[in-house]
Structure 1
Amino acid sequence: MAAIVYFRKISETEELVEYEFGDAPENFERRLTMDKASCTSTVQDEQVEQVDYTFLKASRKLNALYTERGVWPERGMSVS
């Protein structure tokens, strides 16, 4: 079964980058925050503390893109 997640940056500070994400490019219903120093992510939406597959997929792709490019991406997607 295929899985897809879309994400886009909504804010960035010296310490954090905040993204919204979801299963369609017009359906960003969730949020996560990336800590720039540790490259760890935190759930920032109604499903607080719900670390599920979609959250992990977005978080892992964001870290992979950052590692590859050296900057936090403006937007993107992950498909598996």
Structure 2
Amino acid sequence: MAGLVYFRKVFEGAEAVRYAFGADPEDLPRSLTLDKGSCTSTVEDGRTDYLALKASRKINALHTESGHWPARGMSAS
């Protein structure tokens, strides 16, 4: 399955970071929150689908590489 997801950080606190994400860089209608301690994610709308998983995996990979939560990004496969 081919996929494309864009994400942008909208909030970062001491324990969590929240991202808006979606298939169109101009329209990021969904929200994903990552727990900083466990790096697990929760999707605001409850739909843990391919797009949500793809965004979560890419955000965590970028965090692992740089040590910082990315401001924005995308993943394509």
Instruction: Specify if TM > 0.5.
Output: yes
Unaligned runs of 5+ in 1: none
What's the offset of the Cα at 1:10? Answer: 0.2
**Paired-residue identity, %:** 61
Distance 1:50 1:25 in 2: 20
Could you say which residue in structure 2 is the equivalent of 1:77? 74
Could you say which residue in structure 1 is the equivalent of 2:20? 20
Q: TM-score, normalised by structure 2?
A: 0.96
Could you say which residue in structure 2 is the equivalent of 1:62? 59
Could you say which residue in structure 1 is the equivalent of 2:46? 49
Q: TM-score, normalised by structure 1?
A: 0.92
Over the aligned positions, Cα root-mean-square deviation in angstroms equals 0.8
How many residue pairs are counted as aligned between the two chains?
77
Unaligned runs of 5+ in 2: none
Deviating 4+ runs (over 3 angstroms): none
